[in-house]
Chains A and B, each alone.
Chain A
């Protein structure tokens, strides 16, 4: 990968290309698995809220439960009458020029944002009823990014999937002429 090769050149570039939303785990809270990857930490969180074979409840697993990872997290209410919509968007995933933000429909989310890129796969989670992680190249705030995301299903009291929790992080990548991102 060219960007990785570039990053190996200087420490400054290395620092600049690091995942933007990685927040160090607070030492006061002992983490059972000190995973480097955000997707693995969220997956571990989701598994910790499992009740036997039952899916975690949306009322139990809320963004504050993510602790230090709350900023790159969002929630989707898939049961809304108008269509699936965001009920929470973490600080790191906010789209500056988008008036919708929280309570907005997924269909209206700009595709040139990590939020839009990652949330549009929500239907796959409903179909499979398991967490799904996806990554790829896209655009965020006008810049080319390499992202990785995870979407996990959360159930209501009846056991039906009602909410999807998502999390994503990314890093900037170099854009070459002749290899368009879009």
Chain B
């Protein structure tokens, strides 16, 4: 690990908010500056029985300009199937697919990113070529059958 000053002001700051589900909403429980520590704190919260409704860790990233984004990096619910329905994530947040799921910005963004138009155009072109090939083969077969049957 490269040693760096804790005084250095980075262009992006990232904190991890440990939240527990209580009275129908997510409540801030504690804050950490390290993902591993944050998940350990969330796990301890679950094990201690102090978050019967569930617990999650949100990674909150904020730029100097004030823009911020957040993504859920960990979640543990008592019964995930039922809790999924009664505890929808706040708007703009990635929905996890498994209990106690661990994600990060990179993977979350990949999962939710829409496909680019260029990729879609290429896919259409491939489909058109396939159809044309199939029609050509079908026409040749029909012609061959027609000739043989004379």
Contacts and interface: CB of A to CB of B under 8 A. Distances in A.
Interface string B1-45: 111111100000000000000000000111111100100110011
A33 B4 contact: no
Contact of A132 (B7, B31, B44): B31
Interface stretch (A38-46, A70-78, A89-97): A38-46
B33 A44 contact: no
A33 B34 CA distance: 21
Interface in B68-93: none
A33 B48 contact: yes
A131 B30 contact: yes
A175 B3 contact: yes
Contact of A137 (B4, B31, B33, B44): B4
B31 A181 contact: no
A37 interface: yes
B47 interface: yes
Given A40-B41, A128-B28, A47 B4 contact: no
A138 B48 CA distance: 32
B50 interface: yes
Contacts, number: 71
A137 B3 CA distance: 7
A18 interface: no
Contacts of A9: none
Interface residues of B, number: 22
A35 interface: yes
A130 B41 contact: no
A133 interface: yes
A144 B4 CA distance: 11
Contacts of B4: 137, 179
Contacts of B30: 43, 130-133
B40 A181 contact: no
Contacts of B41: 39-40, 43, 133
Contacts of A85: none
A160 interface: no
A137 B34 CA distance: 13
B51 to A, nearest CB: 10
28 contacts: A3-B1, A33-B48, A37-B37, A40-B40, A40-B41, A117-B6, A124-B31, A128-B31, A130-B28, A130-B31, A131-B30, A132-B30, A132-B31, A133-B30, A133-B37, A134-B33, A135-B37, A136-B33, A137-B4, A137-B6, A138-B5, A144-B3, A148-B37, A175-B3, A180-B3, A181-B3, A181-B5, A182-B7
Interface of B: 1-7, 28-34, 37, 40-41, 44-45, 47-48, 50
